Amino acid sequence: MPSMMELEEMISSRFYVISNNNAENYRGHYAQSVGVHSLAVYPALQPSMPTPSAEANKGVSIIQHLSPKSWLFSRHSRQLVNEAMGTFRSLQGMVEDATPREGDDPLDLTSALINKSREYRSMLQACVCSLNSDLDKLEPDSDEYQEMAGQCQLLYKMELLLGLVEIIFVDSRPGSLILSQLVCWVRLHYPACTEQMVKIMAEEDPSQHNLYWQTIYELVCQGRMSDARQMLQQHPYCHTDAFVAIEEILRKMPTYQLYSGVSDGEFMLRWQHWQAECENRLQGGEFAAWSHLKKLAEIMCGNSASILSVTMCGEGNRNDRGGCWVPHLLATLLFTQPNVKLHRLHDAATRAITECCVKLSALDALLLSAMQGDALQVVRGCQQTLDNLWLGAHLTDLLHHALASQRHTQLSLAAMRESIVQDYALELAGHPSLWQVGIVYLDYCGTEGVKDASPLTSLLLERVPLTSDAKAHKVINMAEQRNLEHVVRGVCRVMGRRAANEGRLAAAIWWAVRAKDAPFTSHTAHQVLHRYLTSGEFQSSALLLDHLGPTMLLSETLTFLGKYREFHSLYNRGDRKQAADLLVTLISSKLAPQYFWPVLLLDVLPLLQSSEDSQDKDDEIVVTAAHTYELMYCLNSVVDKFQRDNSRDRGSAVAMECGLVRAFTQREHELRTCLAHNLARAIVTESSSHSVTAMSGISAA
Amino acid sequence: MYNSKVIDTDHKDVIHDIAFDFYGRRMATCSSDQLVKIWNLDDDGNWVLDSTLKSPSGAVWKVTWAHPEFGQIIATCSFDRSATIYEDSISDKGHGMKRSWIKRCPLVDARSSVTDVKFAPKSMGLVLAVCCADGLVRLYEAYDIMNLSQWATVHDINTRLPCCSCISWNPSPSRFSAPLLAVGSDDGCLANSSNNSSGGTMSITNTNTPNNASNNTARVAIFAYCDNGRRWEQVETLLSITDRVHDIAFAPNPGRSFHILAVASKDLKIIVLKPKPANSDGSCGGFDLAVAGQFADHGSNVWRVSWNVTGTVVSASGDNGLVKIYKANYLDVWKCVGTLSSFGAVPHSISDRPDEEEQPVQPQQTFGNSAQSLATNKSSAVGAVAAAAASGARYLKMASTNNPGTVVWH
């Protein structure tokens, strides 16, 4: 397993090797960008090389598709990414609410920021937990295990850093005495000694355990005095003078509490008094008989060699979770400098590191710069050392808000926050399944705030692969929320085009209408009509056409299509008069394309025939005389056209012979007869009814 | 860090160009073996061969995709003085639906080798720009986008450049800026276009010739469409670039008021074009040019530049076998944020090199052509990385870290 140090080094060296052992004659690669951060590289024949032989051509055809790899895209991090987005969003919302309106004092965001920072930390911890539980199921030698273990350590260190940043930058207390916060921070991250204590106490005779004393030392080094006392009481000689004395010292150690009413100076006085007493007893040889107790007293007197010997071989500190210098720092501070101020912390840390003789890893350096109070350096370090910007983005955001609320307005931090959050968003947006999260982050990058979508959003949204209708709807939805009308139209056009290509005409029309793309709508509507010509039915389009409503006005052909469908439903309902009126209007208004007239005429036929059948009810004239003239004109022009086409071109005549057109040519004669009959009847009926109305008009007069 | 997926295209000769469709889910490759291959990304993330198109004669230099609003269309250009348009279409003739690539239209007006083809941004309609070695750029338009077999020349632009090698459209024109077209030029294609009838490799022809054209010729010209004259006018010449230009690319523009152009020449130049206010007669006012970044760390030549879809990252490939990735930091300073190196020629004994100071290897400033110097360069780089990861191949991969999304601070 690689140590933490190695892992970090691997990440921070940004150098990738393209392996292509076959292409030995090829000097390097050409790269082509794909999407946001992917690359395709292919071997390049450099001009200085001679033309390769066929043998040497081996490997020339290999393309490598490189896509970004990071633990961020692993299965376990999914939850982390999504939850962090929620927290990030609500934090931005709170900041926006807290922005001072005219005259108001800005609200204090500190407690909110601390909350959010803790949320981030608990997410990281949850992620570590889920990784750990999965680790148990894996072979320790497998690649996956090692990768996950590495990720685990990385997350752990990130949390460590976030905790420290929270103490130093976000949760800064008055008086800048930070030891109590540091104690909590270290206790939380180096829990090995308490775990060990529980294990030992469960033994029958704890004092016989070989780690009994070591554990007590470590507990004391973390300032867990009562735990240490509890363990000491398990010793068979705990009632001897030496034990009683050490217990008293442990019990009496003063701890600083911020709001306890004890001032800084008074606390130091008490503490010095306590240590002096401890020293006296040690010098007085009270613990001479017990080497262990003597060492304990030495630790409490601040003897750095003793402290070092404990922290260096501590069970929990020896693993490479952040090196042993952090517990050592804490122990040293506890027993030499309990009133350490923030600005002294960095010096103390550097001393602790030199005493521990550890090589500083990149993340250790980050901790150091945090202790130095250099927020910019922390942000830069995050960018540089981590292979993705999860921590970078959220940390920068927190720092930005925290420092802004403390009125240390740092312009560069604001600019950096924007650029890092944007980079993180792009990192996510390049991933096939995290793009939505990325888009959300982009919303908060612009200086304008939430109102204006980042200009990058439209570039990214329109390139989301539309693999299914559902995905298209998702993209449209997101674009509509951000008022990106052109993206919506673009998506609809592409979907329409695709549907048309695949022969799904109803879907094509629907998308085209949404895209408000008139030419394409007409084109598709024509295709529907042509299909109707051959098959005589609308198939799937019928339902769509029934519900078009006013959108059908987008294109003439679509209007005709919709109206023609309306004719069908009127006819089916038995509303013949209206149906006939509509049909003739369609023809006379020239809305119907001419190639479709034969169908319309065929549709008239049953109407004409039905009125013939119902001769007894003489007032029922379905097609009026004027309309009949129109129809006759239409019939003649269709027949004329057929004849012209026939004489000119044999080919098209064959095309005419399909489906409904053939039916038309066969029934042309029948149609003429019916029209003539109808005309006669209509003239008679109309003139009589006309005369009746005229008569009634006269009588009324 | 990158995951690498290897695709064996089975091209029998050098691949000249690969192009991805708008969504990055389809890929077209073209090669000296006269073939164009189309690949689809399946649901498992593998590239699957969709179809193979054969160019009638000559190597295929470039391939490009049209916007999916117009359907699945590619254009290729080739050594045989033609550009060709293919469409992936579905026909329901015969048994069931059949999908196939159909050659819609050959564009054969060129008098010499066609060196580049690019579709215009979708807002201009279905327009294709074709540039040839004789210095002419032709714009073709499909008037009826439902019928792709009819294309007409809408504009002829005489660039007055010695030999056009590459073109680039300004990818996102807005209402406030006229459509822009940048043309780059190298030389040598002209001299050699006649003596290699079967279609050799372009890269050989265009660099063995000495740099005979006068060194003072400007190599990049920018054209803008002027509504007034309804024609393309040369609005700017980049006088600062007098070396052969191999590739040129406008960055996608997410609503900036200026344009960014990457030029691959002897070095990589990133040029910012700020539009000047239009002249009183309404003609284009030209641009204020400024070099935002200039990178000479590619040996003697940069061959290709390629922007990502958001225009935030540009990758450049050069003579010394390195692909470098550049990004602007928050102060708009362009910096190299990643390096990709070829591994091919390096012996496998790298892992027993003692640990070196681990740091990204700086590319050699003076590029020696000998393979030896390249090998040492590579092996030291690889050795450094591998030493950090002595535990085996997997860590080698992890070590080869590269994250273009991150700004490196030095």
* pLDDT tens profile A203-219: 888 888 888 888 898 89
* pLDDT tens profile B105-140: 888 888 888 889 999 998 888 999 999 888 889 999
> Looking at the complex, does the CB of residue B84 fall below 8 Å from at least one CB of chain A?
no
A669 burial via Cβ count (<10 Å: 0-12, 13-18, 19+)? exposed
> Looking at the complex, does the CB of residue B209 fall below 8 Å from at least one CB of chain A?
no
Per-residue pLDDT, B279: 67
> Looking at the complex, does the CB of residue B24 fall below 8 Å from at least one CB of chain A?
yes
How distant is the Cα of A412 from the closest Cα of chain B, in angstroms? Answer: 9
> Looking at the complex, does the CB of residue B331 fall below 8 Å from at least one CB of chain A?
yes
> Looking at the complex, does the CB of residue B330 fall below 8 Å from at least one CB of chain A?
yes
Per-residue pLDDT, A103: 56
Winning range, highest mean pLDDT, from A405-419, A648-662, B365-379: A405-419
Residue B408 Ramachandran class (φ > 0 left, ψ -120 to 50 alpha, else beta): beta
Among A632-646, A683-697, B106-120, B359-373, whose mean pLDDT is lowest?
Answer: B359-373
Per-residue pLDDT, A1: 40
Among A145-149, A396-400, B180-184, whose mean pLDDT is lowest?
Answer: A145-149
> Looking at the complex, does the CB of residue B19 fall below 8 Å from at least one CB of chain A?
yes
What is the pLDDT of chain B when averaged over all its residues? Answer: 74
Q: Where are the alpha helices (DSSP H) in A430-573?
A: 435-443, 455-461, 469-481, 485-501, 505-515, 518-535, 541-546, 556-573
Q: What is the DSSP string of B110-175?
A: -SS-EEEEEEPPGGG-SEEEEEETTSEEEEEEESSTT-TT-EEEEEEEE---SSEEEEEE-SS--T
How distant is the Cα of A595 from the closest Cα of chain B, in angstroms? Answer: 19
Domain regions of chain A by residue span: 4-69, 73-98+107-174, 179-340, 574-700
- State the Cα–Cα distance between residues B153 and B346, nearest whole angstrom: 50
> Looking at the complex, does the CB of residue B374 fall below 8 Å from at least one CB of chain A?
yes
Residue of B nearest to A66 (CA): B4
CB pair distance less than 8 Å for B19 and A61: no
Residues in CB range of A384: below 8 A, 6 or more apart: A12, A362, B406, B408, B409
Per-residue pLDDT, B27: 93
> Looking at the complex, does the CB of residue B48 fall below 8 Å from at least one CB of chain A?
no
CB pair distance less than 8 Å for A35 and B309: yes
User: Which of A39, A385, A421, A501 best probes binding to B when mutated, by most B CB atoms within 10 angstroms?
Assistant: A39
Q: Band the pLDDT of A121: cuts 50, 70, 90.
A: very high
Could you say which residues from 211 to 250 on chain B have a Cβ atom under 8 Å away from some Cβ of chain A?
Answer: none
Domain regions of chain B by residue span: 13-158
Residue of A nearest to B314 (CA): A33
Residue of B nearest to A35 (CA): B309
| Interface confidence (ipTM) of the complex | 0.79
How distant is the Cα of B170 from the closest Cα of chain A, in angstroms? Answer: 14
* pLDDT tens profile A520-538: 889 888 888 888 888 777 7
Q: Do A461 and A434 form a contact (C-beta atoms < 8 A)?
A: no
The CATH class that applies to domain B13-158 reads mainly beta
**Helical (H) or strand (E) element with B315:** strand B313-318
* pLDDT tens profile A627-643: 888 888 888 888 888 78
